[in-house]
Structure 1
Amino acid sequence: MRHLSEKGLDQAIEEAQEADEARLVRRLCFIKNLYQGDTREQAGRRVGISRSTTRRWALAWNDGSVEGLCPRFGGGRPPKLTPQQWEELCEIFEEDQPWTPKQIHALIEDRYNVTYHPAHLSRKLREAGMNYAKPRPMDPRRPDDADEILADRLGQALGEGTHKEEVEDEPVVLGFFR
């Protein structure tokens, strides 16, 4: 069916391009190829689709014009936790820290009767602005005056006490010392 003139079809393609609807542009180009005399198979080959898809797109065009070709997305699977439950969970994590990954999984399962794959849960936590972190205690071998020792050694490495011109000519090298 010719729901639009060729000029109207070109305008629909332009509007879809401006709206950044690449999938709709491709479908409309398929229809344009049909308008120009291609068979369904030829038009499908030009836009890179299978024969079965050419049939579906042609039927969608015949039934609903441009609106019939608009890709529809059902929204995907609903989230396991509602936004309110997720917010409550994040507040719990912020209040009672630190949490181990096992404790987080156990809390979610006990409280909401829901399980998440560890990789997915870490993605969701990062999206919420949270990250796993390991608290590190101070090294018991660290001397009390470690900052002073570091400053002294850096001073020695940078050649404190030499003439300013000499220091500027030589490259600065920083490193760790034992």
Structure 2
Amino acid sequence: MPSWEPIAIKQHVPLPVLEQWIKHHDGSAEVLRRLLFIRLRYKGASVASAAESMSVTTQTGYNWQERWNAEGRAGLNPKYAGGHPSKLSSGQKEELRECLHEQDHWTISEAQQRVQSRFGVSYSRDQIRRILKSFGMHPAEPHVGEHRQPPDR
């Protein structure tokens, strides 16, 4: 017997239509999992048990149901937030681009030090590499001398 849920599932479409959506789904696996979750809710499963069946937390189940109730099928599409905001403003990035074009070759460490000294911002080596790539630049490899060659070569 289904337990009482504080937020009921809205049945935007009849169960047979939902079953057809699942059967003929050719989109992302994420949306299919959410449709399967909704089907379990239609059939009387609690949010907690339906979420457990989909290997997600109960809170995620409530989030999926809330979006389904508000938007129907469209609410099940993933909504990506876009990541953490940049430490540098777009103006500072443009200034950095100009600054880095003053010289032909930059190592990751040199670019990292330039950003730190000029803007007071610390970026990881990977992030500096991504920034250089976004500028159409490729980091230079530091020159390593051949240790077996004579020093006067």
Q: 1:99 to 1:76 in 2, by over 3 A?
A: closer
Q: TM-score scaled to structure 1, two decimals?
A: 0.57
* Match status 1:63 vs 2:70: yes
The reply on whether 1:2 has 2:11 as its aligned counterpart is: yes
Amino acid at match of 2:55: G
The size of the alignment, in residue pairs, is 141
**For residues 18 and 85 of structure 1, what CA distance do their matches in structure 2 show?**
43
Structure 2: unaligned runs, 5 residues or longer: 1-9
Higher relative contact order (CA 8 A, sep 6+): 2
CA RMSD of aligned residues (A): 3.5
CA distance in 1, matches of 2:78, 2:35: 11
For residue 87 of structure 1, report the CA deviation from its aligned partner. Answer: 5.9
Q: Give the distance between the partners of 1:116 and 1:110, measured in 2 at CA.
A: 12
Partners of 2:133 and 2:123 in 1: CA distance: 14
- Tell me the TM-score normalised to structure 2 length: 0.64
Which residue is 1:19 aligned to? 27
* Bigger radius of gyration: 1
Of 36, 42, 49 in structure 1, the residue corresponding to residue 56 of structure 2 is: 49
Percent identical across equivalent pairs? Answer: 28
Displacement of 1:62 in angstroms is: 2.4
Cα distance change on mapping 1:130 and 1:53 into 2, 3 Å: same
Larger fraction in helix: 1
3-state SS in 2 of match to 1:134: coil
Partner of 1:125: 132
Instruction: Name segments (4+ residues, structure 1) moved above 4 Å.
Output: 82-88, 126-129, 136-143
Q: 1:23-172 residue pairs with structure 2 within 5 A?
A: 23-81=30-88, 86=93, 89-90=96-97, 92-125=99-132, 128-136=136-144, 139-140=149-150
* Unpaired runs of at least 5, structure 1: 144-178
